[in-house]
Structure 1
Amino acid sequence: MLQVFNTMTREKEPFKSMTPNLVNMYVCGPTVYNYIHIGNGRSAVAFDTIRRYLEYKGYTVNYVSNFTDVDDKMINQAKKDHVTVMELGNKYIQAFKEDTAALNIKPATTNPRATEHIPEIITFIQDLIEKGYAYEVEGDVYYRTRKFKPYGELSGQNIDELEAGASQHTADEETARKEDPIDFALWKGAKADEISWESPWGQGRPGWHIECSVMSTELLGNTFDIHGGGEDLEFPHHENEIAQSEAKTGQKFVNYWLHNGFVTVGDDNEKMSKSLGNFVTVHEIIKTVDPQVLRFFLSTTQYRRPVQYTQDNLEDASRNLAKLKTAVNNVSYRLSDAETGSDPKTDQEVRQVMADFTDAMDDDFNVQNGITQVYELARLGNIYAERPVVFYDTLQFILKTLSQLLLIFGIELKAETEINDDTIEALIQERIDARQSRNYERSDEIREQLKNQGIILEDTPQGTRWRRVTK
């Protein structure tokens, strides 16, 4: 049975969706004022991988991920770029779609935009005011945080400590208007020349937190299965979403809270973020790095763990992906001379790998143990492809299973009909380097890899030569 780590309880819990065979899932998307960086991409990849595994398990996933297309960052960037907030949002939403497509991230079932839900946001806020959870001051509307008794449970925050921290900023003009320093904005009165909408409190725009409460409940209902996002969103964003939503509906907001770890950079493993200026955008990196390698790098670390972004780690991912491609090629190459039928013993070994893979992934989407089983399947395929006699149905079973399991990681590999000369030369050079470093296991592996694809190596005093053989 699938177990997931619920941030709310800090425990792994058996997963059970509210509706059999259907998962309603909301994942916080980007604020679209710039290209997404690797950290944003990691979150998108992590939850796409989770979605794909749920689908592999037989669920239909109603996957909603929003675009925050109006907030302070949007307004400030639009002014710098001399464009409207809407123009800025349109530009970077399109860039997000292109960059995530390059990483083979499935499009969301729905991508709501905050600006498309202004009437619903206003109605939501009015309900909170009527229930006594919100109040208006000079065109701004604030949430009475202290009135929501469970506040802080998700992130483990103590409300008295929050008050002490907030009191250090009492000179702030906005804080001075609040009933309590820890109250947060639901609606912000418009400043001169800012994007705004008419509301019962005058011209203004929504606060950040209210957007997700409205869009998620509008599209998924008052209570839904999974809410995901980066661990930096636990507080205050997700904490505030819970307070808003449960105060309005009187119902539990989310059954399972899932949060992904950061991407870190540098010797100090510092979190990658735009605010720290240490980020690399997906848009730029995929100009020089195979997007499939980047996807493989990001998707093969368990979602709650941090991912260290280094050139060495990218190269490791590239090498491991190349080995999987080789296995696909080796198995595919033998289809042309395979006997009719199947090999029951090998088929059973494949089924065991599938079972072990499921056991690994059922443990809170443990992709690191899961990918180990994929490597085991590739090894099994390579060994089987070297046999003098192979069976067609078994080869196809290996290929189909490799394809199914790799697709969960967002990887689609197709067999090369014929290995090209550049690839052969690169492998020969790798073999030479391996022999010089006394890595004879890798040297032999490359020779067998090429042999399985019809390439014969001949070591001569003048160097290594190669030739193709035909069946």
Structure 2
Amino acid sequence: MIKIYNTLSKNKETFKPIQEGQVNIYVCGMTVYDLCHIGHARVMVIFDVVRRWFDILGYSVNYVRNITDIDDKIINRSIQNNESIESLTQRYISEMNADAKALGVMSPSKEPKATEHIQDMLSMIQTLIEKQFAYVAKNGDVFYSVRSFKEYGKLSGKSIEDLRAGERVDIDRNKHDELDFVLWKSAKPNEPSWDSPWGKGRPGWHIECSAMSSHYLGHHFDIHGGGQDLQFPHHENEIAQSEAVHDCKMANYWMHNGFVRVDDEKMSKSLGNFFTIRTVLEKFDPEVVRFFILRAHYRSPLNYSDAHLDDAKLALQRLYVSLRGFKIEDSDVDWRHPLAHKFKEAMDDDFNTPEAISILFELANEINKSKSAPLADLLRALAKTIGLLEKDPETFLKGDEKISLNIDMLILQRYEAKTNKNFKEADRIRSLLLESGIVLEDTPQGTIWRKE
């Protein structure tokens, strides 16, 4: 049985689905006004693995990851670019999908846009007003009354008193209480707006996810996920909205992946240590980036640096090298094998990918000793469950085809030099290739090479 660390209970719990054999997952997605960054990559990869693992366990998975396509940042960027909001958001949705595909992330079951669910949001807000959890301010904004929801703070562990004493909140004279948050923003000149019972306006950010999750997964679903930065106030506010409207628990399990840090500092644009996925992929193979993300437990901080990615590249190469020379057959995992059983135990224990990957290296070591084709098949099959080792080993280790042809030509010249006992020339070619990051290995079957 799989165990999940539940942020709501602050404990690791055995997963029990609401509906037998079915798992419903909602993950907060991207706000599409710019290229995705490495923090977004972590969310995409982590919950892709969660989704894949439930698949492996035989569940029918309904995985919803939303798109925020209307908010202040999007409006401001469209004005800066002199570009329509629709053009801007669609362009960055396409870029996001390209990044996700490169990282081996499967498409969600559903990927709804916020603007497609305005009516759902209006209906929820109207119910909140009727049940006296929300109110219409003098300026036409609609606010959620935080004090009206007695369990506010149960996810983050923050009490109303703590929030009043220490939290920075928006000062808005239209609010009844400084802790209240906006559900509906009254229209400003030249901004997109929709009709509502309270006048033209647009939704607040928090109500979007409450509306979309309930639309696709129902009022009560299994797992809600996202980055640790969303735990408060976004996810806290979602709970307050959804549970006030539906009179039931929103999600049974809340999963939050840890922050991405850059050289031990939190990644942020203000610190100038901000990396887009696209920038990282200019330097590193996408599978190296995925492997790097999965080497850390999803709840731990992930410390980004070129040195750590270089180390991940070398480690991933070791796994691919162990598969070299085998005709790998696509096959199901034999979970009765002791190492496969250990791999499953690791993944069932709160998706412990670092432990699972360590077992892949145990297998690789066994393959290097025994040259066993069945073990090579098992290594490939286990790795594929988390989206790794899906390439041909030679393709991964050698890379660009044109470069490969030039290297093969130099290896042939080196072979001819050795045959003619011109060892000085053979050594020169080896050194030349090594300077270019190409490592040669002389084997009984001939010389093979890989990128350093």
Find the counterpart in structure 2 of residue 379 from structure 1. Answer: 365
Find the counterpart in structure 2 of residue 455 from structure 1. Answer: 446
Which range moved further: 139-148 or 273-282? 273-282
- Equivalent positions of 1:369-408 (< 5 A) are 369-385=355-371, 395=373, 397-408=374-385
Find the counterpart in structure 2 of residue 161 from structure 1. Answer: 162
Find the counterpart in structure 1 of residue 21 from structure 2. Answer: 21
- Equivalent positions of 1:170-319 (< 5 A) are 172=171, 175-266=172-263, 269-274=264-269, 276-319=271-314
Find the counterpart in structure 1 of residue 435 from structure 2. Answer: none
Find the counterpart in structure 1 of residue 414 from structure 2. Answer: none
For residues 146 and 447 of structure 2, the distance between their equivalents in structure 1, rounded to whole angstroms, comes to 72
For residues 365 and 310 of structure 2, the distance between their equivalents in structure 1, rounded to whole angstroms, comes to 20
For the Cα contact (< 8 Å) 1:26–1:226, is it kept in 2?
Answer: yes
- Does residue 1:413 correspond to 2:391, yes or no? yes
Match of 1:313, as an amino acid? H
* Aligned pairs, number: 414
For the Cα contact (< 8 Å) 1:39–1:273, is it kept in 2?
Answer: no
Q: 1:249 to 1:192 in 2, by over 3 A?
A: same
Cα distance, 1:163 vs. partner?
Answer: 2.3
Q: Secondary structure at the match of 1:264?
A: strand
Q: Secondary structure at the match of 1:25?
A: strand
1:326 to 316, 321, 328: 321
For the Cα contact (< 8 Å) 1:300–1:409, is it kept in 2?
Answer: no
- Does residue 1:365 correspond to 2:342, yes or no? no
Cα distance, 1:456 vs. partner?
Answer: 5.4
Cα distance, 1:413 vs. partner?
Answer: 2.7
For the Cα contact (< 8 Å) 2:335–2:341, is it kept in 1?
Answer: no
Find the counterpart in structure 2 of residue 151 from structure 1. Answer: 152
C-alpha RMSD of the superposition: 2.7
For the Cα contact (< 8 Å) 1:260–1:303, is it kept in 2?
Answer: yes
Q: Secondary structure at the match of 1:405?
A: helix
Q: Secondary structure at the match of 1:177?
A: coil
Match of 1:451, as an amino acid? T
Cα distance, 1:404 vs. partner?
Answer: 2.4
> Once superposed, which parts of structure 1, at least 4 consecutive aligned residues long, lie more than 4 Å away?
347-350, 417-421
Q: Secondary structure at the match of 1:142?
A: strand
Match of 1:122, as an amino acid? L
Cα distance, 1:243 vs. partner?
Answer: 0.2
Query: How big is each residue's C-alpha offset from its partner over 1:193-252, in whole Å with a ceiling of 9 and x where there is no partner?
Result: 011111111110000000000000100011111111000100000000000000000010
For the Cα contact (< 8 Å) 2:294–2:354, is it kept in 1?
Answer: no
For residues 356 and 111 of structure 2, the distance between their equivalents in structure 1, rounded to whole angstroms, comes to 29
TM (norm. structure 2) is 0.86
Cα distance, 1:415 vs. partner?
Answer: 4.1
Identity among equivalent positions (%) equals: 44
For residues 208 and 122 of structure 1, the distance between their equivalents in structure 2, rounded to whole angstroms, comes to 13
For the Cα contact (< 8 Å) 1:331–1:382, is it kept in 2?
Answer: no
For residues 353 and 76 of structure 1, the distance between their equivalents in structure 2, rounded to whole angstroms, comes to 53
Q: Secondary structure at the match of 2:136?
A: strand
Gaps of 5+ in 2: 399-403, 412-425, 432-438
Which range moved further: 271-280 or 84-93? 271-280
For residues 127 and 70 of structure 1, the distance between their equivalents in structure 2, rounded to whole angstroms, comes to 23
For the Cα contact (< 8 Å) 1:332–1:415, is it kept in 2?
Answer: no
For the Cα contact (< 8 Å) 2:239–2:250, is it kept in 1?
Answer: yes
For residues 20 and 294 of structure 1, the distance between their equivalents in structure 2, rounded to whole angstroms, comes to 35
Match of 2:193, as an amino acid? S
Q: 1:59 to 1:400 in 2, by over 3 A?
A: farther
For the Cα contact (< 8 Å) 2:38–2:260, is it kept in 1?
Answer: yes
Gaps of 5+ in 1: 336-346, 434-445, 458-465, 467-471
Cα distance, 1:280 vs. partner?
Answer: 0.7
- Does residue 1:70 correspond to 2:70, yes or no? yes
For residues 7 and 288 of structure 1, the distance between their equivalents in structure 2, rounded to whole angstroms, comes to 35
TM (norm. structure 1) is 0.82
Q: Secondary structure at the match of 2:76?
A: helix
Q: Secondary structure at the match of 1:176?
A: coil
For the Cα contact (< 8 Å) 1:35–1:96, is it kept in 2?
Answer: yes
